[in-house]
Structure 1
């Protein structure tokens, strides 16, 4: 039973005040007696506090001799103690408490447990032994405490490492976004200041427009051949069109083979080309296209206004600085989750890089796949991949018994003639 000291104090004060008030003489007015207050200490009578005192502990209560045998557990040593002349001493609280505590140890009611309890009690009454026992207890628990400390330390270090990793990733992402914003602002400042127009993303005017149409038909292939090559790209853009409603822009759309494939697949698409004859071919086929410089056209589009952007055999026609600005504008106008695809001749094929590339006099220089992939990643695109495509005619492959020599030569001379650099906007 717990004693509520505040309640007890309040009861005592109330009883003292009541008895003091009863001893004051009755007066007509409310003033105090002239002789002063009656000595309340002398008038104090003991108050019955029995209701406030706790019950005595059970282990110190008197135990009837006939109950000791029933309360103590069974055991050879305990059964021996229950016999005369020891039985009459078992009812003493201290002895009964010692026997009870000893029976609760592992092994139960045994002489060894009783001797251990007695020796432990005696040892704790000797100051030097008590300190030694406490120190041994601390040493016994030390491995477990060290293990717990090690676990907590490892958990703390792990949480700290995760926090550092998240902060590092956050800072890198933020730095990338800031760099992208800086490039966009620089491009906007260049447009506002009337920077000179970039070179066209399609063939320059060194070759007449109508002549270039004939050139494409003669060297690149017929419309059906080009459609067969480009059809492999449709699944990528169908996935994008299923998520977004914005159109796909084709830079240097040429005769419109790719635009026509997109239209037949139900994908909204527009094209731009600097060659009026090429654009007229698209318009005659019922496609949406316009005459203009590819970079200037991109600079006039709002942010995140395209689901995707393609440029088939365009980037080899422009200088490097224009290509970088073209990629920057593509990063700005393609919405997050959108896709960009740049296809160009593959200089890893030695015949393409040394000869076929220069068949088109409007080509500037071959672009290695690693360079284009680097530019896309450096300018903010993610999951960049290089897809090599369009190998040479198998009839041209070298034949021989030495595969260790023939296969590398076939790969270098007749391997993929084009490659596509594909990136995704984050």
Structure 2
């Protein structure tokens, strides 16, 4: 016998659906439909008589004997048959009620909220009629999509905002990385530029030194002019550019040095009223003193052995020359200067050279002209024992009495010693015994420099 398995499977599923519906209808006390209720699985089933395929129903067991014992519990009462069961029992109506499509329809109504009510039945019938109209299903789908459109738009806006935030964060990260990279490259370029500028300055300085050396040698060969003197391009033991930085660090700023040098102007103002000859500043350095004299309309010129110092002076528009102070003086005519100054120069010279310098100053300065030599004061114990030796080019301290003696011994008149530049008053010792603190303050915190002033006879 050949059995159509697919047809049998559909018939069994329809019967299972019917029995499930009967079980759900019997459970009238339950408010919710059963979670095991089948879905729409027989929409396309054909009309098939299931009884021909099912095995015969099992025989019912005999009814148990009546309970005779009073202690035994009575059996549970059977619930009354539902409307569906009663309709199934009607000969004509039961045939149609038991059809699988009717059972499927009732099952779908049972699955709706509220169960198989008349309202749900009419809703399902209306939907079935509407969906048979061409295009109605598509319209319903569009309406359903439009009903959910606000939520979808909100979700889309959220995703767009989130994407914009992420893109902005990525943009900020890229910008920060780019800025950091550009800053690093700019810093490297700046450092390279500073290095190259320093190298160019060194090379330019060396070129100027060579040019000045050649010019001096040519002048010496010609045997003319006061500027024909040997050139010493560096301080002993220290390069010219390094000594310029050394003075800027330890000596002080230009403004401070100008304020200190202003105290010497009265000596040279009186001298300028008598003579029109220029004042020569030996070891002119950065040119602070020459600038003060120029501002007071006092003719002046400077000489220094340091090329870097002379470059500072010429850049400021001052008259200055490179050369050795003693040899420069030796090349000048007699009585050709109205005055002479030397600030912190003589402590660099051996004693015999200093004496020769005094002799040459006595020769070239006009009678009545002033000479001024400023040097560190060794009477200040801190200066004589420590600060004096910060400059490695210093030879030895010169006491005021020695310098005054040499000026007088070499013919200068009205020699005086001007002690100046005391230490910070905050360092002074304070106490009740002035006999002790007074001398100690003078020895430790007194004048740090002195000037020896003399006049040519």
Taking structure 1 as the reference length, the TM-score comes to 0.53
Give the Cα–Cα distance (whole angstroms) in 2 for the partners of residues 328 and 368 of structure 1. Answer: 19
Cα deviation per residue 1:79-115 (whole Å; 9 max; x = unaligned)?
A: xxxxxxxxxxxxxxxxxxxxxxxxxxxxxxxxxxxxx
Q: Structure 1: how far apart are the matches of 2:437 and 2:269?
A: 40
2:378 and 2:399 in contact (8 A); partners too? yes
Give the aligned partner of residue 212 of structure 1. Answer: 243
Q: CA deviation at 1:206?
A: 1.1
Q: Quote the Cα distance in structure 1 between the aligned partners of 2:414 and 2:267.
A: 14
1:278 alignment counterpart: 309
Aligned-partner Cα distance in 1 for 2:286–2:236: 17
Cα deviation for residue 198 of structure 1 reads: 9.7
Shift of 1:399: 1.0
Deviation >6 Å, runs of 4+: 197-200
Within 5 Å, give how 1:48-59 maps onto structure 2: none
1:298 corresponds to which of 329, 336, 346: 329
Q: Secondary structure at the match of 1:329?
A: helix
Following the alignment from structure 2 to structure 1, what is the Cα–Cα distance between the partners of residues 263 and 433? 34
Q: What is the alpha-carbon distance in structure 1 between the residues aligned to residue 347 and residue 366 of structure 2?
A: 25
Contact 1:199–1:318, Cα closer than 8 Å, also in 2: no
Secondary structure of residue in 2 paired with 1:385: strand
1:244-278 CA-partner distances (Å, limit 9, x unpaired): 01000000000000000000000000000000000
Superposition map of 1:24-423 within 5 A: 204-423=235-454
Deviations along 1:184-211, one digit per CA (max 9) or x if unpaired, are xxxxxxx9xxxxx9997x9723101001
Q: Distance in 2 between matches of 1:219 and 1:270?
A: 25
8 Å CA contact 1:342–1:421 kept in 2: the answer is yes
**Cα distance in structure 2, aligned partners of 1:203 and 1:325:** 22
2: CA distance between counterparts of 1:301 and 1:198? 14
Q: 1:245 to 1:323 in 2, by over 3 A?
A: same
Measured after TM superposition, the shift of residue 216 of structure 1 is 0.4
Contact 2:235 2:243 in 1 (8 A): no
Q: 1:251 to 1:218 in 2, by over 3 A?
A: same
Counterpart Cα distance in 1 of 2:432 and 2:239: 49
The answer for the alignment partner of 1:155 in structure 2 is none
Instruction: Work out the CA distance in 2 between the residues paired with 1:236 and 1:295.
Output: 23
Distance, in Å, in 2 between the alignment partners of 1:321 and 1:214 is: 29
Larger radius of gyration: 2
Unaligned runs of 5+ in 2: 1-222, 224-228
CA distance in 1, matches of 2:442, 2:342: 26
Tell me the secondary structure at the aligned position of residue 340 of structure 1. Answer: strand
Aligned residues: 230
Task: Tell me which residue corresponds to 2:124.
Answer: none
2:326 match: secondary structure: helix
Paired residue secondary structure (1:271): strand
The equivalent residue for 1:84 is none
**Is the 1:198–1:322 Cα contact (8 Å) retained in structure 2?**
no
**Is there any run of 5+ residues in structure 1 with no aligned partner, and where?**
1-190, 192-196
> C-alpha distance in 1, partners of 2:352/2:401?
17
RMSD: 1.7
C-alpha separation in 1, matches of 2:286 and 2:372: 18
> Quick one: distance in 2 between partners of 1:204 and 1:371?
25
CA distance in 1, matches of 2:314, 2:323: 14
Are residue 425 (structure 1) and residue 456 (structure 2) matched? yes
